[in-house]
Structure 1
Amino acid sequence: MQLSWSDPRLSVASDSRRTARYRLLQSWYREQVVHAEYGEYRVNGTTRPLGSLLALHDVVERPGLNFLSRNAAAYALERADIVQSSGGAVDKARLARNMLSSMPMAFSIFGELRAREDRGLDVVQAFLDPHAVSVEQMECLWRPAIDVLGDRSGFDAAVITQREDGSRHLVGVEVKYTEHFNRTIYNSDGYRQVHEYSGWFRPGTARPLLGPATNQLWRTSLLAAACAQREIMGVTSASVVVMCLAEDPDAARALAGLSYALRQPEEHCRIVSLESFAAGVCDGLGPQDGWAEAFATRYLHPPVIHAELPDPDSESLEL
């Protein structure tokens, strides 16, 4: 017998209050909107149910279940195969089944926009590149053909626009839902060279950015700067946009730390909240036919219930 979406046994004790709310939202959406069963995971030899994980048999029967539209689902499945065949890293099971992951969200956003004839130019102008006159390319799980940083890194999504003067601009998009920024500290001679010679950063500001609060966003910015510096895909300028919940303290701290080091912080890196994005689409931008309302229902409005607290002895789980 299936547990109800709000049953504490479908939650994770180690979740923060914020993550717990949005995991609960995904459990509700799974049961009440897409009418799918929850999946199970194994930890320390024990099998446990999880409300935000789609059951394997449901995904086999409906492969696009974790995406908001047919356009997004078709693109995600096709793109995952392309990335994998080219040697890139993509966890297909996580993409198809993990409802709390930001990657299905990224595909639901950009997979829908790129299906439009103009690749969502009005949305791109409003939220990513106000100077765009056309959108030349839009891809999820994108990395440059040349490994400019020596670490095979890429963007959750990349948008290449053309501007009025004919130049090409790259927007590297980092998409976050409840995930933390990667707290592993990466550093290399290649990073420091881009930091010092790309023109993006004030001299001598690399060391403070090595900390866990800023390291991932710094590396994402270095990748964008290096692509512009090397004129990858013909781009001569670049910027980074973090799309995340408005109440994301990790993103706010990362941007504050990075902005101190950037010469032109407002030009090179900024946050776009998922709430403002959905509101903009709701007001007439981008895909219509209820897409923005569906996005908000899926990702932005956790149900309010008086649920019991999860078992404090439950293991920590990064899902």
Structure 2
Amino acid sequence: MAPDVLEPLPFVPLLPEELLRKHHIFEPQDHRFRSAARLMQSMWRQDRELPIGSYMVDGKRKKLGSRISPAAAKSGGNFMAPAIAALVRRELAYREPAAMIDEGRLYANLLSSMPLAFNVFGLLKLDLAFASRVLGELFQDLAGAQVRAVLFEHSPGRGNPVLTGDHSAFDVLLRYETPTGRRGFVAIEVKYSESCQEPVPVIRPRYDDLAEVSGLFVEPRKQALRTNPYQQLFREHLLAQTMLMRGDADEARFVVISPQLNTLVAAAIAGYQAELKPAGEDQVGFAGITLEDTIVALAMAGEEQYAARLYRRYCDFQLVDGELNLFWAGDGPIGTASDPAAVTAAGPLKLLPGGRA
């Protein structure tokens, strides 16, 4: 018998191959979290009756449940609101020169962190007053600060030798001004199903110099900082530090946002933090924030219904547990996670303090 109150999952389940195949999402290279996240995105697609997408493998087209068809992609099916789909079109048209944006992944890949970044931060771009409230919810010391700009896939100067000399960029950057007039920014890297084991780019010699002068690291020459799982955090942290050093802002912080149950990213964040000295006033601080807490911040800032939808799509792994139970029971068709018995619609509300809805 199912319990009256579902306890938070300690980690995502290992899913049977047969279940994954029935959803057209069996990908042998997937790690545990990505497999569960892929199933959840496939279920989200089915609930909204979005046509399944595909990709080429060995010269043949293969269905993939975590993608949507070209027609559904073109209509903005990967985005949580029509206003965000419209924002994405405009952001692509006015992207920064040399910005690296894979439009296919952005529009059609439900699992990608690229659309996630727009789905989470798109409303902030459209309403800077709302963005300011979210900023204060995320960082108590920034309550009262006013967000002046929300930038996507942002670099202050790709290839600029004064900075890092490469094409590193932030998924999102929030520029703000405090009540005392201090200018600041929050540079954000968004992770969803990644493992922090992605291909490593060439780490330029410029990073050696920056690591030394920045004062950020316990051992600035340590090779581990330049390899996975830390190298991307190392590069982006130093990019933010060079912005601060050249006077782009008076204060700054670099944060990574990822799901609580993505233990691979959580381990990378914790390990990287252990390589850092305490940040001084002239240095960029670093922190990891869960995607769940970010969604709660949107709810607390006034977008409760939208936050609940975000949580259900990206974070409510009780849906995966429900689908797994249906598979074991053998008494329900695949894709019925929208059944009230299998859904914890109140999931995100339980995260809010004081029981506030």
Q: Tell me which interval the TM-score lies in, with the shorter structure as reference length.
A: 0.7 to 0.9
Alignment check: 8 A CA contact 2:211 2:220 kept? no
Q: Which has the larger radius of gyration?
A: 2
The answer (yes or no) to whether the contact 2:237–2:254 under 8 Å persists in 1 is yes
CA shift, 1:202, in A, is: 3.6
Give the match for residue 314 of structure 2: 299
Q: C-alpha deviations, 1:4-43, integer Å up to 9, x for none?
A: 997243432322232111111111111112x211011101
Higher RCO by CA contacts (8 Å cutoff, separation 6 or greater) = 1
Q: 1:6 to 1:204 in 2, by over 3 A?
A: closer
Q: How does 1:56-67 map to 2 (within 5 A)?
A: 56-60=70-74, 62=75, 64-67=76-79
Indicate the residue corresponding to 2:83 in structure 1. Answer: 71
Paired letter, 1:184: V
State yes or no: 1:227 paired with 2:227.
Answer: no
- For 2:52, the equivalent position in structure 1 comes to 38
Instruction: For residue 88 of structure 1, report the CA deviation from its aligned partner.
Output: 1.7
- Contact 2:149–2:176 (8 Å) recurs in 1: yes
**Residue-by-residue CA offset, 1:38-74 (whole Å, 9 max, x unaligned):** 01110111211000101012223x2x21111223212
Alignment match, 2:95: 83
Given that 1:173 and 1:241 are in contact with CA atoms closer than 8 Å, whether structure 2 keeps it comes out as yes
1:311 maps to which residue? none
**Where has structure 1 moved over 6 Å in runs of 4 or more?**
none
Q: What is the number of residues matched between the two proteins?
A: 297
Q: Deviations over 1:186-244 (max 9, x none)?
A: 42221112111123334545433122111111111111111111123xx1222111110
> C-alpha deviations, 1:82-106, integer Å up to 9, x for none?
227x232111111000000011010
Normalising by structure 1, report the TM-score.
Answer: 0.85
Distance in 2 (CA, whole Å) between partners of 1:75 and 1:245 is 24
Give 3-state SS (helix, strand or coil) of 1:126's partner.
Answer: helix
Question: Percent identical across equivalent pairs?
Answer: 26
Q: Relative to 1, partners in 2 of residues 1:156 and 1:286: Cα closer, same or farther, differing over 3 Å?
A: farther
AA matched with 1:188 = R
Which residue of structure 1 lines up, in the alignment, with residue 35 of structure 2? Answer: 20
- TM normalised by structure 2 equals 0.77
Q: In structure 2, how many angstroms separate the alpha carbons of the residues matched to 1:272 and 1:191?
A: 25
Measured on the aligned residues, the alpha-carbon RMSD in Å equals: 2.4
Question: Which residue is 2:355 aligned to?
Answer: none
**2-side partners of 1:20 and 1:115: how far apart?**
33
Indicate if the aligned counterparts of 1:120 and 1:286 stay in contact, CA closer than 8 A.
no
Superposition deviation, residue 253 in structure 1: 2.6
Q: Is the 8 A contact 1:72 1:111 kept in 2?
A: yes
1: CA distance between counterparts of 2:285 and 2:302?
24
Structure 1 stretches lacking a partner, 5+ long: 309-319
Farther-moved stretch of structure 1 (93-102 vs 202-211): 202-211
Unmatched runs of 5 consecutive residues or more in structure 2 = 1-18, 329-357
